[in-house]
Amino acid sequence: MRFLLTGGAGYIGSHTCVCLLEAGHEVVVLDNFINSCPESIRRVEKITGKKVALYEGDCCDEAFVNRVLDEQPIDAAVHFAGLKAVGESVSIPLRYYQNNLGATLTLCKCLAAHNVKRIVFSSSATVYGDSKIVPMSENLPMGSCTNPYGWTKWMSERILQDAAFADPEWSVMLLRYFNPVGAHESGLIGEDPIGMPNNLMPLICRAAGGKLPMLSVFGSDYDTPDGTCVRDYIHVMDLANGHLKALEYAVSHKGVEIVNLGTGEGYSVLQMIRTFEEANDLKLPWRMADRRPGDIAASYSNPAKAADLLGWKATHTLNDMCRDAWHWQTLNPNGYRA
Ligand code: NAD
Ligand code: UFG
């Protein structure tokens, strides 16, 4: 089958390209490179020995998306394209709403015009809000988001559900990712944040590589076993594989399914630091710091639905995630920039 990946040159998209190509599918990538570069796709082609049809342009541009779909008949789309920096979304909310909601609406309109009513959407555990209930199951009520980025995920889920309610021909998979980390085992593709990252793993890698003098652990007084925040870190290749399973499901079912993609295991920031040190035989410089506003104490998934519905389970350990993230970083200290 042939699948369209909007935002397919980005971190999760590029790893999903590898997974889909290796499963024998064809991949069409549409990306404006606002947070990525074509080199990731060249690396995907190197890993797989297969070609990707790559289109540079904006997913909010209806004429452009229609042209891609005219030229490339597809079976389903995976919609990764979006801006994702939580802090930035607080500073420039309208840009986030315009880009993330605009891209979702435009893509749906163009897909429907081409009679392709199958979409897999990149949502986030952020839609659970400040839930005190863990593990988080898909049937938890959606929470109140703490930032515009989170609301764009919340609203996109709503838009896609309403579209499917109005037209039962739609197949919609809302995938709620927990905390994706790690890289392809080759070290050829990985996470390449532009500017100073906000997420824990890229910051750990910077601290390990000497680019960040000291890692701050945000908060030591949470109601968790060691006082630091707990998250469900998931290897990006497991996540990529979840998209393959979701696409296989989407092409043979109609309606909406919401599916968590996480391991079901929660690890604290201190456990992550220790595992990274052990996996890579190094010492990280770190210190305790104040809580980061907006962080919740614990977030981890109930992954049972993904297993039941899709036959999917994460297989990589935290050790694998730390090893592969550092392998990518050591081979590519400046990311995709030479
Ligand atoms: P990323 O920034 O690496 O990838 C997103 C890609 O979309 C980039 O290549 C960017 O250039 C592209 N893009 C953005 N706006 C576009 C537009 N209007 N038109 C065309 N291309 C556009 O991010 P990622 O980590 O790979 O995340 C992929 C998706 O998963 C995003 O929607 C993100 O919000 C979501 N998500 C990510 C995480 C995470 O922690 N990485 C967690 C939950 C959900
Ligand atoms: N942390 C530190 N020090 C740092 C950076 C992070 O201690 O320098 C801690 C945070 O306080 C948090 C944990 O590491 O407890 C993970 O933080 P991340 O920023 O890596 O991830 P978050 O769980 O805060 O956010 C992620 C995604 C969001 C998504 C959210 C909910 O980045 O896009 O999960 O799914 F909205």
**pLDDT tens sequence across 5-51:** 999 999 999 999 999 999 999 999 999 999 999 999 999 999 999 99
Confidence of residue 62 (pLDDT cuts 50, 70, 90): very high
Residue 134 near residue 298 (C-beta atoms within 8 A): yes
Taking CA atoms only, the protein residue closest to ligand 1 atom 3 is 10
Give the separation between CA 142 and CA 259, rounded to whole angstroms: 13
Mean pLDDT of 179-204: 95
Atom of ligand 2 nearest to the CA of 292: 11
Lowest average pLDDT, out of 67-76, 104-113, 136-145, 213-222, goes to 136-145
Mean pLDDT of 298-321: 98
- pLDDT above 70: percentage of residues in the chain: 100
Give the separation between CA 93 and CA 326, rounded to whole angstroms: 33
Average pLDDT over all residues of the chain: 97
pLDDT score, position 232: 98
Taking CA atoms only, the protein residue closest to ligand 2 atom 11 is 218
Tell me, using a 6 A CB cutoff, whether residue 20 lines ligand 1.
no
Atom of ligand 2 nearest to the CA of 296: 15
Alpha-carbon distances, residue 124 vs 57, 84, 115, 286 (angstroms): 24, 10, 27, 28
Mean pLDDT of 176-193: 97
Taking CA atoms only, the protein residue closest to ligand 2 atom 12 is 229
pLDDT at 131 over 90: no
Confidence of residue 194 (pLDDT cuts 50, 70, 90): confident
pTM listed for this prediction: 0.98
Tell me, using a 6 A CB cutoff, whether residue 301 lines ligand 1.
no
Taking CA atoms only, the protein residue closest to ligand 2 atom 36 is 126
Mean pLDDT of 237-265: 98
Q: Which residues pair with 55 in a beta bridge?
A: 30
User: Model confidence over 67-86: pLDDT tens digits?
Assistant: 999 999 999 999 999 999 99
Residue in 261, 275, 295, 299 to alter for ligand 2 test, most ligand atoms within 8 A of Cβ: 295
Mean pLDDT of 229-255: 98
Mean pLDDT of 275-298: 96
Residue in 80, 203, 236, 321 to alter for ligand 1 test, most ligand atoms within 8 A of Cβ: 80
Ligand nearest the Cα of residue 174 is 1
pLDDT at 196 over 90: no
Asked if 11 is an active-site residue, the reply is: no
Confidence of residue 332 (pLDDT cuts 50, 70, 90): very high
Query: Residue type for 232, please?
Result: D
- pLDDT above 90: percentage of residues in the chain: 96
pLDDT score, position 338: 74
pLDDT score, position 143: 85
Tell me, using a 6 A CB cutoff, whether residue 13 lines ligand 1.
yes
Q: Which is the catalytic residue, given 96, 128, 149, 267? A: 149
Residue in 153, 269, 296 to alter for ligand 2 test, most ligand atoms within 8 A of Cβ: 269
Q: Where are the beta strands (DSSP E) in the chain?
A: 2-6, 26-31, 53-56, 76-79, 118-124, 171-177, 179-181, 215-218, 230-231, 233-235, 255-261, 267-268, 286-289, 298-299
pLDDT score, position 301: 98
Q: What is the DSSP string of 247-296?
A: HHHHTT--EEEEEEES-S--EEHHHHHHHHHHHHT----EEEEPPPTT--
Name the residue among 30, 27, 17 with its Cα closest to residue 65.
30
pLDDT at 63 over 80: yes
Atom of ligand 2 nearest to the CA of 149: 36
User: Model confidence over 158-172: pLDDT tens digits?
Assistant: 999 999 999 999 999
